[in-house]
A = this chain, B = another copy of it.
């Protein structure tokens, strides 16, 4: 398998963790999101993924996109260890946690959106940073209450089982720390992220451990 990845991409980080947990060998193909206006817009990558977004997974000539769809695919193809609980209600719960990050926090703060805010909308760098922190702090704070009050967390978001929820939380917490967000309202998620990072699969997937790390 080939994973088109950028070391700092949260979405690619999620998939790297999944591949590591499943023990599936893969080759990282770096796509630099900044160099030369962004390699994701180049002809070569656009042929692979017309959405010009990272990550994409190539498996036997087929290209898969969207991190959460890729992770569910890996979970169906390689059932062990499972990244989703067994019963429908619990599955819905961990999926909702992952989607809260993938739909309600991360999309507002990825590189293309921040760039557009500055270049096209004419927002100052200061206001852009404020925008970033606003959505991260609001989103993670609300999600922390959900996880804390849900009575389902343990060592990880769902008891002691690593699930798709943790795969979404860790990269978002990484980014939040990098951008100096205040995580006082997200203590549970912060602790879960720390515990996850003690696992090899997470540690090896982190930005600084990537071949294209700067």
Q: Which residues of A contact B (CB under 8 A)?
A: 50-53, 62, 64-66, 68-70, 72-73, 76-77, 88-89, 91-93, 95-96, 99-100, 102-104, 106-108, 113, 116-117, 120-123, 127, 130-131, 134, 142-143, 145-146, 149
Q: Report chain B residues within 8 Å CB of A88.
A: 73, 76-77
Top 10 nearest A-B pairs (CB, nearest first) are A69-B95, A73-B92, A66-B96, A66-B99, A107-B107, A69-B96, A76-B88, A50-B145, A65-B96, A69-B92
Determine the residue in chain B with the shortest Cβ distance to A57: B92
Q: Report chain B residues within 8 Å CB of A104.
A: 51, 53, 107
In Å, the complex CA distance between A162 and B128 comes to 40
B146, A50: Cβ atoms closer than 8 Å = yes
Majority DSSP secondary structure for residues of A touching B: helix
Nearest chain B CB to A205 CB, angstrom units: 20
Greatest chain B CB density within 10 A among A69, A72, A142 is at A69
Determine the residue in chain B with the shortest Cβ distance to A52: B142
**Copies of this chain, whole number:** 2
Q: A69-B95, A134-B120 are in contact. Are A62 and B50 (CB under 8 A)?
A: no
Q: Report chain B residues within 8 Å CB of A122.
A: 127
Q: List 7 A-B contacts (CB under 8 A).
A: A51-B143, A65-B100, A72-B91, A103-B103, A104-B107, A120-B131, A121-B127
What 8 new A-B contacts, CB under 8 Å, besides A72-B91, A76-B88, A117-B121? A50-B145, A50-B146, A53-B104, A66-B96, A70-B96, A102-B103, A108-B108, A120-B130
Q: Report chain B residues within 8 Å CB of A117.
A: 121
In Å, the complex CA distance between A99 and B106 comes to 13
